[in-house]
Amino acid sequence: MSVLLTDADTTVAAGRRLADLLRAGDLVVLTGGLGAGKTTFTRGLGEGLGVRGAVTSPTFVIARVHPSLVGGPELVHVDAYRLGGAAELDDLDLDSELDEAVTVVEWGAGLAEGLADERLEITLVADPETESRTLTATGVGARWADVDVESHLQEAPDAGPDATDDEGGVP
């Protein structure tokens, strides 16, 4: 399934919505070229999970751990771009935290699949002419077999300013 994200704000919002589906032990493998929105999407995941600290690219530190501020799982954010292979990823000892955290591995295709049999693989492809990007999500394993990822990634239709119920709230 694929979703069109029109700009950075919609990319962050899609990450926030996807966070509702994530739980401790989930592995998300992000793939996409430079500037495709991997870190932007992860920032939204972090916001949705309610973690501490600004989610920024961990390119130079390789991995960052963002503890939960709301009693949920922490976010382990990994950038595998500079890693030389699966052995270097294994050296990070991610599997020791995998059960307690949501782990996101940018540039993880071809490296991170060995961390878990069940994972969510997300590919972001940027349109060089616009700020838009296409997000494709594929669930791997029993964990994702019956999960409707697409509906969580889709932007909720704007009800408009006049769409309120009798109590002044949104219907």
Rounded to an integer, what distance in angstroms lies between the CA atom of residue 105 and that of residue 127?
A: 22
- pLDDT tens, residue by residue, 35-81: 899 999 999 999 999 999 888 776 666 677 888 999 999 998 888 76
User: Residues of the chain with pLDDT > 90: what percent?
Assistant: 47
Q: What is the mean pLDDT of the chain?
A: 81
Is domain 2-152 in CATH 3.40.50.300, yes or no? yes
The closest alpha carbon to 107, from 81, 131, 70, belongs to 81
- pLDDT tens, residue by residue, 131-164: 899 999 999 999 999 998 888 887 654 444 443 3
pLDDT band at 98 (very low <50, low <70, confident <90, very high): low
DSSP string, 74-122: EEEEEE-TT--SHHHHHHTTGGGTTTTEEEEEET-TTTGGGG-SSEEEE
More confident call, 104 vs 88: 104
User: Residues of the chain with pLDDT > 70: what percent?
Assistant: 77
- Residue 147: strand, helix, or coil: coil
- If residue 137 lies in a helix (H) or strand (E), which one and from where to where? strand 133-140
166 contacts: CB under 8 Å, gap ≥ 6: none
Domains of the chain by residue range: 2-152
